[in-house]
Amino acid sequence: MPDITVTVKCANDTKYSVTIDTSKTVLDFKKAIAENCDTPPERQRLIYSGRVLKDTDNLETYKIADGHTVHMVRGAPPGGSSSSQQSSNNNSSQQQSAPPPQNAQPMFNPFANLGAPFGTPPFTNTTAPSATGAPLPFGDLFNNPAFLQQLTQMMSDPAVLDAVIASNPQLADMGSQVRAAMQNPALQSMMANPDFIRRMTEMYATMMTPPTDFANVMGGLGTQGAPGANPGFNASANTGTTNTPSDSTNAASTNTTNTSNPTAAPNPFLNLFNPAERYQVQLQQLNEMGFWDAQRNIRALLACGGNVNAAIEYLLSDRQ
Amino acid sequence: MTKVPRNFRLLEELEKGEKGIGDGTCSYGLSNGDDIYMSDWNGTIIGPGHTVHENRIYSLKLHCDENYPDGPPAVYFISRINLPCVNQHTGKVEPSKLNCLANWKRTYTLETVLTELRREMSTAHNRRLPQPPEGTTF
* Residues of chain A with C-beta less than 8 angstroms from the C-beta of B19: 67-69
Pairwise CB contact (< 8 Å): B20 & A68: yes
Cβ pairs bridging A and B (under 8 Å): 95
> Which of B38, B40, B44, B121 to mutate: most A Cβ within 10 Å?
B44
Helices B110-121, B6-19: inter-axial angle, 10-degree rounding: 50
Pairwise CB contact (< 8 Å): A71 & B50: no
Q: Does A15 touch chain B (CB under 8 A)?
A: no
Higher pLDDT, A84 or A1: A1
Tell me the average pLDDT of chain A.
64
What is the C-alpha separation between B14 and B109, in angstroms, rounded?
11
Pairwise CB contact (< 8 Å): A88 & B46: no
What is the C-alpha separation between B120 and B124, in angstroms, rounded?
9
Note the pLDDT of residue A208: 57
Top mean-pLDDT range of A147-161, A199-213, A229-243:
A147-161
For chain B, the maximum distance between any two Cα atoms, rounded to a whole number of angstroms, is: 47
- pTM of the model as a whole: 0.48
Pairwise CB contact (< 8 Å): B52 & A92: yes
Residue A78 has pLDDT above 50, yes or no: yes
Residues 89-108 (A) with a CB less than 8 A from some CB of B: 89, 91-92, 95-96
Pairwise CB contact (< 8 Å): A50 & B28: yes
Higher pLDDT, B96 or A283: B96
Residue A25 has pLDDT above 80, yes or no: yes
For the beta carbon of residue A286, count every other beta carbon within 10 angstroms.
24
Of B41, B55, B122, the CB nearest to A88: B55
Residue A156 has pLDDT above 70, yes or no: no
Higher pLDDT, A304 or B105: B105
Q: Could you tell me where the DSSP H helices lie in A35-183?
A: 87-96, 100-118, 145-155, 158-166, 169-173, 175-182
Pairwise CB contact (< 8 Å): A9 & B24: yes
Note the pLDDT of residue B83: 93
Note the pLDDT of residue A77: 61
Of A45, A47, A63, the CB nearest to B33: A63
Note the pLDDT of residue B107: 92
**Closest by alpha carbon to A267, among A133, A81, A87?**
A133
A156 — phi, psi (to 5°)? -90, 5
Higher pLDDT, A264 or B115: B115
Helix or strand run (H / E) with residue B111: helix B110-121
Pairwise CB contact (< 8 Å): B55 & A76: yes
Note the pLDDT of residue A88: 40
Higher pLDDT, A157 or B31: B31
Pairwise CB contact (< 8 Å): A96 & B52: yes
Span A228-237, average pLDDT? 41
Q: Could you tell me where the DSSP H helices lie in A40-98?
A: 87-96
- Torsion sign, CA atoms A285, A291, A292, A293: negative
- Torsion sign, CA atoms A17, A18, A23, A25: negative
Span A46-73, average pLDDT? 87
Note the pLDDT of residue A314: 84
Give Cα A9 to chain centroid, integer Å.
24
pLDDT in tens, chain B (138 residues): 567 788 999 999 998 888 877 677 889 999 887 888 899 999 999 988 888 998 889 999 999 999 999 999 999 999 999 999 999 999 999 999 999 999 999 999 999 999 999 999 999 889 889 999 888 888
Nearest chain A residue to B119 by CA distance is: A292
Note the pLDDT of residue A183: 64
What is the C-alpha separation between B84 and B43, in angstroms, rounded?
19
Note the pLDDT of residue A143: 58
Nearest chain A residue to B120 by CA distance is: A292
Note the pLDDT of residue A99: 42
Q: List the single range of A90-104, A129-143, B121-135 with lowest mean pLDDT.
A: A90-104
Residue A120 has pLDDT above 50, yes or no: no
Residue A286 has pLDDT above 50, yes or no: yes
Of A69, A91, A292, the CB nearest to B19: A69
Q: List the single range of A174-188, A225-239, B110-124 with lowest mean pLDDT.
A: A225-239
Nearest chain A residue to B129 by CA distance is: A96
Are B91 and B80 spatial neighbours (Cβ–Cβ below 8 Å)?
A: yes
Helix, strand, coil percentages, rounded to 5, for chain A: 55, 10, 35
Span A259-278, average pLDDT? 54
ipTM value > 0.95: no
Span A160-177, average pLDDT? 67
What is the C-alpha separation between B50 and B56, in angstroms, rounded?
12
> Which of A15, A39, A46, A49 to mutate: most B Cβ within 10 Å?
A49
In chain A the beta strands, taken as DSSP E runs, fall at 3-10, 15-21, 44-48, 51-52, 69-74
**Closest by alpha carbon to A236, among A200, A272, A286, A201?**
A200
Note the pLDDT of residue A188: 62
* Residues of chain B with C-beta less than 8 angstroms from the C-beta of A97: none
Span A42-61, average pLDDT? 88
Note the pLDDT of residue A199: 73
